[in-house]
Amino acid sequence: MNSIIAIQPRAVTRRTLGKKRGPITRLMSPGDLGQQLKPFVFLDQFGFKSEPDQKGFGMHPHSGIATVTYMLGGEIVYEDTTGKSGLLPSGGVEWMSAGNGVWHDAQPAGSTAITGFQLWIALPAAQENGPANSVYLAASQVAQEGPAQVLLGRYGKAQSSIPSPAGMNYLAVHLKDGEHWRYTPPAGHTVGWLAGSQQRTPGRWRPDRCGRTGRFRRVGPAHRFRGERTDLLCVGIGDQASP
């Protein structure tokens, strides 16, 4: 089980270990938790070894949504139809706002195992049919406050450079053994979830130990956590979007 512990008891409406399909563990989708957590609608944890017959994710389309890919380990070579291409290293973040349509591709680079999270976000109606845009950040370009990397939104004095819709924060929090972390959601943020992952050895994350993804019954005033061993806690908190 996930060893990130909530110090202050907090009612959770649902927990899941997800459904594993090959290299992907689906932690939430629009048909389950995503229905309750919109604008957060989809969450996968992926993990696979780089092998000669492993073709990565291949060129595939999206429209009307945004995806956020956070690399826990390994590197991928990316290309998208907005004209961008390059290398996304470990700790890097990809933001893809699909708008009225975009194709993108991600292939393993080198022999290191590839692990990470991909979150799908429902775009506001005004952006669903807008032009596609993408942002790729190296780990050094990701804003940070204490143990929290700010993938989207703001935490403390740190603000993500990604132009995501207002009203949501998405954080990746690395906690050492016994380390405490407290998060106070901004006013108006009424839905929240967390997902955890644990390292087996330094730099090697276990994709088959995705931790429990859960929806908070009540967001605020503060959430407190303590890490055991070496853990990653992904937290999404935001305004409830209309169905």
Each residue's pLDDT tens digit, 13-67:
677 788 888 888 898 898 888 888 889 999 998 887 766 666 667 889 999 999 9
Hey, what are 195's tokens? 């997902």
Residue 193, pLDDT score:
84
In a domain, 106, yes or no: yes
Residue 41, pLDDT score:
92
In a domain, 243, yes or no: no
Number of domains in the chain: 1
Whether the pLDDT of residue 243 is over 50: the answer is no
Total count of residues recorded for the chain = 243
In a domain, 112, yes or no: yes
In a domain, 170, yes or no: yes
Nearest to 76, CA basis, from 33, 105, 103: 105
Least-confidence region, from 113-117, 133-137, 175-179, 221-225: 221-225
pLDDT band at 208 (very low <50, low <70, confident <90, very high): very low
pLDDT band at 3 (very low <50, low <70, confident <90, very high): very low
Residue 241, pLDDT score:
63
Q: Tell me which of 91 and 185 has the higher pLDDT.
A: 91
CATH number of the structural domain spanning residue 63: 2.60.120.10
Residue with tokens 């090959």: 22
With a CB cutoff of 8 Å and minimum separation 6, the contacts of 230 are 174, 175, 176, 177, 198, 199, 202
pLDDT band at 155 (very low <50, low <70, confident <90, very high): very high
In a domain, 185, yes or no: yes
Hey, what are 159's tokens? 């603000």
Residue 65, pLDDT score:
96
In a domain, 108, yes or no: yes
In a domain, 22, yes or no: yes
Each residue's pLDDT tens digit, 54-70:
666 788 999 999 999 99
- Average pLDDT taken over every residue of the chain: 82
- pLDDT, average across residues 175-179: 83
Residue 56, pLDDT score:
67
Whether the pLDDT of residue 236 is over 70: the answer is yes
- Structural domain harbouring 103: 5-238
In a domain, 147, yes or no: yes
